[in-house]
Structure 1
C-alpha cells in the first residue's frame, strides 16, 4: 500500500445510491416539466376531439346522401329522401316518415356545430358571436342534393353550405354540406 501524506484522510465507506435531497430535486424537476407540458397536452386532446367530431359529421353527411340516392320510396326530385339530424347529442340519418335511424352516432357535449357560408368564421370567438343558426338537421333529395329550408330544420339559407365544428378555442374545422 502506498504511503499517503499525513493530512489526507481515507474513508473506509463508499457512498452508494442517491441521497434524499438528490431524489427530491429530481422529482421537483420532473413535476415542473410535467406542469409546463399540461397546456400543450390539453390542446392536443381538444384537437383530437374536434377532428373526431368533424369525421363523424362528414360520415353522417355521406351516409345521408347515400340513403337519399338509393331510397326507392322517395317521391320526386325536390322532396326530402333522407335527413341528417342532431338530436340530444346524437347524429342520426333518417328516411322521412320513419323514426328509426338507419345510422346513428354520439357526439361529445363540448362540440359546437354552426352553419356557415363559404368564408367561414375568423375564429372560435367569431363563431360564438355569430347570429348564424346552429346545425340541427339537413335534408337531401333523391338526387343527393341538399334541400335548404325543408321542414323542421333551421337550415333555411342556401348560402350557408358548410358546418363549422368547434371545440374549446381550437381553430375551426369545416364540413361542406354539398
Structure 2
C-alpha cells in the first residue's frame, strides 16, 4: 500500500509566489494612476470651491468698493490657493498636495497666478480664465472659470 502525500511541494510554492509577484508588478502602475487621479479630482474640487468663495466675497463686497476695480482675488501658488479681499487680506486658503500642480492660463505670470473679480463677480483678468490641475501619472483636469 502506497501512502499519498499531502500538502504542496517547494516548487509549487515558489511558482505560486512568482505568479503573485508578477501580478503585483502589473497592477502597481494602475494603483499609482488611480491615486494620482484621486488627488487631481480632490484638488480640482477644492480649487473650484476657492473660486466660488472668491465670487461670494466679491458679491458681498464688505469693503464697499465701487466701480470696476478688484473686490476679491484668487491667488494660486505652487503650494496653496488663497482667497483675498480687496485689501489683500486672506479670508480662505487651501494647501495643494506636493504631487499636484494647479496652473491658470498662459497669460498669467508663472509661480504667482491671480484671478481678480470686481463687485459684480466678473473677472477683471480676462487672460486667466482657464485652469489645469495635473499630477504625474494621472489624467489632467482642465476647465474654464
Q: Same fold (TM over 0.5)?
A: yes
Unaligned runs of 5+ in 1: 1-9, 117-129, 149-157
Secondary structure of residue in 2 paired with 1:108: coil
Alignment of 1:163-174 (within 5 A): 163-168=131-136, 170-174=138-142
Unaligned runs of 5+ in 2: none
In the alignment of these two chains, the number of paired residues is: 144
CA distance in 2, matches of 1:131, 1:27: 54
How large is the Cα RMSD of the aligned pairs?
2.2
2:92 paired with 1:103: yes
Larger Rg: 1
Maintained 8 Å contact 2:55/2:121:
yes
Alignment of 1:1-178 (within 5 A): 10-11=1-2, 13-87=3-77, 89-99=79-89, 101-116=90-105, 133-134=109-110, 136-148=113-125, 158-168=126-136, 170-177=138-145
CA offsets 1:112-134 (integer angstroms, 9 cap, x no match): 23333xxxxxxxxxxxxx78744
User: Residues 35, 110 of structure 1: CA spacing in aligned structure 2 closer, same or farther, 3 A cutoff?
Assistant: same
Structure having the higher strand fraction is 2
Maintained 8 Å contact 1:110/1:168:
yes
Maintained 8 Å contact 1:85/1:136:
yes
Match of residue 125 from structure 1:
none
Maintained 8 Å contact 1:165/1:174:
yes
CA distance in 2, matches of 1:46, 1:161: 24
CA offsets 1:46-88 (integer angstroms, 9 cap, x no match): 1111111211111111111011111231311311111111246
User: Residues 33, 88 of structure 1: CA spacing in aligned structure 2 closer, same or farther, 3 A cutoff?
Assistant: closer
Maintained 8 Å contact 2:50/2:82:
yes
